[in-house]
Amino acid sequence: MRRAAPTRSLAEAAGDTTYFCTADGEGNAVSGVQSINSGFGSGVIAGDTGILLNNRMSYWHLEPGHPNRLKPGRRVRHTMNPPLVLKDGRLWCVFGTPGADNQVQINLQVLSAMIDCGLDPQQAAEMPRCTSNVPGQYANWPHLGEDALTIERRFPEAVRRELKRRGHPVRTVGDLEGPCSVEIIRRDAPTGMLLAGSDPRRDGWALAW
């Protein structure tokens, strides 16, 4: 109240999705992702609440015959993907991330890392990652974007070279510069202990109390 806030342009504050998860000792958990989709969403505020409405309808396709074509009674295909995983009917983990079209791909890699490779939550959050995006399949209208297999350089150079040889449009990024920002809580069934992991690629925290 004593000084003006610094001015920021929309381009500098273009992020629009956030993710959080929480769990308690009783096995209750929340996996929550929130997004208005693009800067200022639809530009419409819900009454006098100050809540911006999203513009997720930009995810629809209009081409005849497209499986995600805008039609009455359909739900739009969207990218928000906040997993909650059970094992033997009890909480095993909650996790998720912002990241548009990359969310589902990264969440699958993280889950596989914990289940198939036995990594703990922090190891799974920090492991090398890759995503594949194809023009015409991007979520937001007009569904365009680069044709790219984005892969962190911690993958062996021989692997990246072979992918290029096979015709994949490989785009190599830095060690921790891949997409998304995963947050994870996992429950150890025998002890009930909660284990947490936070992605170092963006701001994120793992807190316990």
Q: What single letter denotes the amino acid at residue 136?
A: G
3-state secondary structure of 169: coil
42 three-class SS: coil
23: β partners: 29
Length of the chain: 209
Helices and strands in the chain, H and E counts: 3, 9
Question: Is 17 a known active-site residue?
Answer: yes
DSSP line for 83-138: -EEEETTEEEEEEE---GGGHHHHHHHHHHHHHTS---HHHHHHS--EEEE-TT--
For residue 187, give the nearest of 109, 118, 90 by alpha carbon.
90
Active-site residue, from 7, 17, 79, 150: 17
- Known catalytic residues are 17
